[in-house]
Amino acid sequence: MSAAKATSTSSSVTLKWHDPKKGTYNGVMIRRAKGASAPASAKSGTLIAKVSAPRVTFTDTSVAASTKYSYALFAYKGSSDAKAVKVSITTAAAAPNLVPYQILDGSTYGFSVPAGVADDGANVWVTNAAGNSVTEINQSTGASEAVLVDPSYGFNEPVAIANDGTDLWVANGMGNTITEINESTGALVQVLSSSVYEFDTPIAIASDGTHLWVANAKGNSVTEINESTGALVAVLSDASFGFNNPEAIDADSTNVWVANLTSGTVTEINESTGALVAVLSDANYQFYGPSTIATDGTDVWVGNAGGNSVTEINESTGALVQVLSGASYGFNNPIAAVAFEGSIYILNYRGNSVTVLNGTTGDLVLVLSDTAYGFSAPIAVAARGATVWVANSTGNAMTMLTVITVVS
């Protein structure tokens, strides 16, 4: 043989070679190795096939996407030739995975600019910023259970929601109030509206199991509330906290983390005492319009809406782990995130897509961008059981995604 050519898809490599002079060989033995170096002898590498003459083509389907392979083709008649024709090729990238999904829309859901989402294990709760309502969805079936719209709930541009295992807490951005709802019944518990809370455009809310933490975007403060009673614990507003248009908030088992949109910083607060731990502002973090924050028990993930990047921080030390950026991640105004089942789901508001990361390594798993998903300015996300719930703010719809299991 004098030459060989290779072409590939994401799951196969097709080899073609020139037929040696008729009668001079019985067939071709094909051996393969990963990487740029083909097998050096007829006994090295992996035996892929022995192809009988006069056949001059073979398709190898035991390959992975985006991987370089090198082949050695040995013509044989009795025993293989010592010399081989060699060829290398990198397989094509896999097509974007279309994971199982369902789109929820229609008048029964009452979606009107859905802005926040929480999953309590039995039901999913969606705040409708323009509808001044909350939609209750069956977690197992996706069926509409109820739309809470009675004026007694005090909804006034509800933009965020959190659950503590017993109750739901809704942040009313325009009303400067918090509505507490019983998870089991959907009944109103109370509306927190006293001036002592100092709510000023409450935009984000998080529960640590004991206290509720509310980020006040215009007030440059965080309000801490006792979850059992709804009583005020403290209002954190001292300049040392560095709050500057706090846009997102999350709590791990030890600390509360606040993303400050305008100043490009992250504030770390001790959950037990409310004391300042640190304000992360070093340029190495590359915070640029941080607008979402999620903790996974080991690391903190910050989506930088202005930088189209994600910053990973060690929860225990606050040290930088890495900054993820580049076109392959598909980040485009990352505005919401959730950590679940070994993966980090990043919502790209302007990209109408969801980026899935490996929570252990930060490696890209896939970017969900097919129009079939119905992503339309995705703005909020929650996950539990086998489902990730994505709220589409301009599409007035929810997208249910099957959880992607990441093998580290």
Q: DSSP string spanning 2-31?
A: --EEEEE-SS-EEEEEPPPSTTS-SEEEEE
| Cα distance between residue 389 and residue 54, in whole Å | 56
**Does 408 fall in a domain?**
no
Q: Are residues 197 and 310 in the same domain?
A: yes
**Does 407 fall in a domain?**
no
Among 90, 109, 131, the domain-final residue is 90
Q: Are residues 183 and 74 in the same domain?
A: no
pLDDT of residue 408: 46
Number of domains in the chain: 2
Q: Are residues 43 and 175 in the same domain?
A: no
Q: Are residues 204 and 232 in the same domain?
A: yes
**Does 396 fall in a domain?**
yes
**Does 340 fall in a domain?**
yes
Q: Are residues 79 and 105 in the same domain?
A: no
- In 38-100, DSSP assigns E strands to 46-52, 57-60, 68-77, 79-80, 85-90
Is residue 177 a contact partner of residue 191, using CB atoms and an 8 Å limit? yes
Q: Are residues 54 and 163 in the same domain?
A: no
**Does 236 fall in a domain?**
yes
**Does 322 fall in a domain?**
yes
Is residue 102 a contact partner of residue 119, using CB atoms and an 8 Å limit? no
Closest by CA to 325, choosing from 313, 310, 306, 347, is 310
How would you class 325 by CB atoms within 10 Å of its CB: exposed for 0-12, middle for 13-18, buried for 19 or more?
middle
Is residue 359 a contact partner of residue 343, using CB atoms and an 8 Å limit? yes
| Cα distance between residue 78 and residue 52, in whole Å | 12
Among 90, 123, 142, the domain-final residue is 90
CATH for 292: 2.130.10.10
**Does 283 fall in a domain?**
yes
**H or E stretch covering 33:** strand 27-34
Q: Are residues 105 and 86 in the same domain?
A: no
Q: Are residues 127 and 212 in the same domain?
A: yes
CATH for 41: 2.60.40.10
Q: Are residues 269 and 190 in the same domain?
A: yes
Separate counts of helices (H) and strands (E) for the chain: 0, 36
Q: Are residues 197 and 338 in the same domain?
A: yes
Q: Are residues 43 and 133 in the same domain?
A: no
**Does 96 fall in a domain?**
no
| Cα distance between residue 184 and residue 200, in whole Å | 29
- Reading the chain (408 residues) residue by residue, the pLDDT tens digits are 668 899 988 788 999 988 766 667 788 999 999 999 999 998 999 999 999 888 899 999 998 878 899 999 998 876 656 678 999 999 877 655 568 899 999 999 999 999 999 999 999 999 999 999 999 999 999 999 999 999 999 999 999 999 999 999 999 999 999 999 999 999 999 999 999 999 999 999 999 999 999 999 999 999 999 999 999 999 999 999 999 999 999 999 899 999 999 999 999 999 999 999 999 999 999 999 999 999 999 999 999 999 999 999 999 999 999 999 999 999 999 999 999 989 999 999 999 999 999 999 999 999 999 899 999 999 999 999 889 999 999 999 999 998 876 654
Residue 209: which domain range? 101-402
Q: Are residues 109 and 80 in the same domain?
A: no
pLDDT of residue 25: 79
pLDDT of residue 131: 97
Among 90, 112, 139, the domain-final residue is 90
